[in-house]
Each structure stands twice: as structure tokens, then as C-alpha cells.
Amino acid sequence: MLQRGATFSHQLKILLPSVMAERGAPAVTQELHEALGDLVSLRNAVAHRHQPITRGQAIRVLLAAVFCYWYLALYG
């Protein structure tokens, strides 16, 4: 249980929204949350299975990551 609960993906889904809500930050949209989940999936596909990704996939998750970086910098 701890191994599953301590994953980065789990933290994105559960811990991050809770912590940010405590700080008074607005919730991120479902679309952004899904893009961050896709970032984890695509990273695993590339790193572990050596699968190529499309430019569109890369752009979507990169923009989500950059937005979340600034979201955390602003509220974190």
C-alpha cells in the first residue's frame, strides 16, 4: 500500500490538490489534471518501453508541466 501511495502519480491525484486547497489556491481544471497524468504515462512509455511520442503529445504535456510549475511557484 505504501509503495502505491507514495508514487508521484498518487501525489498528483491526492496530495497536491489537498495541499493547494489548504493554501487557498484555485483547483486546476480536469483537462490540466489529465495532461499531468499523461505526462507520467508518456514518461514511462519513453523511459521503460522506448516508445516514441508525437510532437502534439509532447507539446501538451510540456505546457501542462510549465503551467503547473508556475502554479506551484505562485501558491506553493
* Residue 75, all three cell numbers: 501558491
59 phi/psi in degrees, rounded to 5: -65, -45
* Contact criterion met (CB below 8 Å) for 28 and 16: no
* Contact criterion met (CB below 8 Å) for 36 and 67: no
Q: How many domains does the chain have?
A: 1
* Domain housing 37: 1-75
Query: pLDDT tens across 17-68, in order?
Result: 888 899 999 988 889 989 988 998 999 999 999 999 999 999 999 999 999 9
48 phi/psi in degrees, rounded to 5: -105, -30
Q: Looking at per-residue confidence, does 14 or 38 come out higher?
A: 38
pLDDT of residue 3: 57
With cut-offs at 50, 70 and 90, classify the pLDDT of residue 5.
low
